[in-house]
């Protein structure tokens, strides 16, 4: 096996991925046909001591809020699976925007979406990239980077993009990079394909995956769709907004946010003043809740447990961030 000190091989359309040691050893042991042909150099992720949250991400200053809530999620899994709260695998790769030496360096201190599609020159993927391109400027305004990926080489991406632009009913420009993962190392590290069987497949479809990653490189949300169902880009943008708001303000968004709590009981009557309101995170202490969100509303429920603590849109807007 190659020593970690050996310089990495020259890359063409292949990518090398730094992944956890158990998975790296398993891949080397199985050596599927495609992986055996690949010159990919697998390297372990360095161990991550728990670290303070990134100040560049406007983190909530509440000690019992985002900081405590995020500490409940392990930064690494015990079985090499990628789960919420884990540090995402870093990798180097070739993209339609050129070579990247490190995915983590590319997204440094920013939110990012890693958006995989099963294959170039397929119908649903063609519409998805077009619709994502229409949302790109809105995501950029949220300071959220976007990168897409499939197991096709970069040259295939570049040729296929002509079809994407031509087919979209709106005039679009695809401004985000598309990663070429021809050796399947990134797709394997992120759990999008099975390392034991993908080498035997003529068309190794990655799932339609969406990974939303925070400024500390932690996985905050993942969505998995089959190849036959296209994704809703409005929902992806909504998820980014909800995650950023939670991160910055120590809150949790209810179902159907921001179209929620349009009419709720209050005292002897009802009120519409909580439309679009959000909950305080369960970890937030009553003391910090009162200090940062004075006058927050606790919903009355039969259990009499004070866990439904609502704050209005206006209260959220004025709450401090670092």
Per-residue pLDDT band at 57 (split at 50, 70, 90): low
Question: What phi-psi label fits residue 90: left (phi over 0), alpha (psi between -120 and 50 degrees) or beta?
Answer: beta
pLDDT digits (tens, 9 = 90+) for 103-162: 999 999 999 999 999 999 999 999 999 999 999 999 999 999 999 999 999 999 999 999
Q: What is the pLDDT of residue 321?
A: 81
SS3 label, residue 158: helix
Which residue is listed with tokens 């229409």? 134
The active-site residue, picked from 125, 144, 228, 299, is 125
Phi, psi of 66 (to 5 degrees): -55, -45
Q: What is the pLDDT of residue 149?
A: 97
User: Helix H segments across 107-208?
Assistant: 123-141, 154-167, 185-189
- pLDDT, the chain, mean: 84
pTM of the model: 0.82
Q: Which of these, 209, 167, 159, 213, lies nearest to 188 by C-alpha position?
A: 209
Question: C-alpha distances in angstroms, 287 versus 65, 108, 290, 294, 296?
Answer: 11, 34, 5, 10, 12
Q: DSSP readout, 33-97? A: HHHHH-----BPPPP----PPPGGG-----TTTHHHHHHTS-SS-SSS---TTSBPPEEEEEETT
> Worst-scoring range by mean pLDDT, 155-159, 168-172, 193-197, 297-301?
193-197
Q: Is the pLDDT of residue 36 over 60?
A: no
pLDDT tens figures, 188-207:
999 998 776 656 666 566 78
> Among 123, 91, 120, which Cα is nearest to 107's?
91
93 tagged catalytic? no
Rg, C-alpha atoms of the chain: 22
């Amino acid at each position: 096996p190659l020593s970690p000190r050996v310089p990495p091989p020259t890359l063409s359309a292949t990518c090398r991925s730094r992944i956890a040691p158990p998975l790296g050893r398993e891949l080397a042991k199985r050596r599927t046909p495609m992986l055996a042909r690949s010159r990919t150099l697998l390297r372990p992720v360095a161990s991550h001591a728990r670290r303070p949250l990134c100040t560049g991400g406007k983190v909530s200053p509440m000690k019992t809020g985002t900081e405590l809530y995020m500490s409940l999620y392990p930064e690494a899994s015990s079985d090499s699976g990628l789960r919420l709260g884990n540090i995402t695998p870093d990798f180097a790769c070739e993209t339609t925007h050129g070579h990247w030496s490190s995915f983590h360096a590319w997204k440094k201190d920013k939110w990012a979406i890693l958006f995989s599609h099963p294959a170039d020159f397929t119908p649903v993927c063609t519409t998805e990239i077009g619709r994502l391109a229409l949302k790109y400027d809105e995501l950029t305004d949220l300071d959220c980077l976007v990168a897409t990926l499939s197991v096709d080489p970069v040259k295939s991406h570049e040729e296929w993009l002509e079809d994407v632009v031509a087919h979209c009913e709106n005039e679009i420009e695809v401004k985000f990079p598309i990663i070429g993962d021809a050796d399947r190392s990134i797709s394997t590290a992120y759990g999008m394909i099975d390392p034991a069987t993908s080498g035997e497949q003529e068309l190794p479809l990655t799932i339609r995956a969406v990974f939303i990653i925070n400024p500390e490189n932690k996985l905050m949300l993942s969505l998995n769709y089959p190849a036959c169902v296209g994704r809703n880009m409005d929902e992806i943008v909504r998820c980014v907004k909800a995650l950023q708001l939670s991160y910055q303000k120590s809150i949790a968004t209810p179902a159907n946010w921001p179209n929620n709590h349009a009419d709720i009981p209050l005292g002897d009557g009802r009120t519409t003043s909580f439309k679009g309101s959000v909950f305080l995170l369960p970890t937030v202490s009553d003391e910090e809740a009162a200090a940062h969100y004075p006058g927050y509303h606790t919903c009355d429920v039969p259990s009499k447990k004070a866990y439904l603590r609502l704050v209005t849109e206006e209260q959220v807007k004025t709450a401090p961030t670092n």
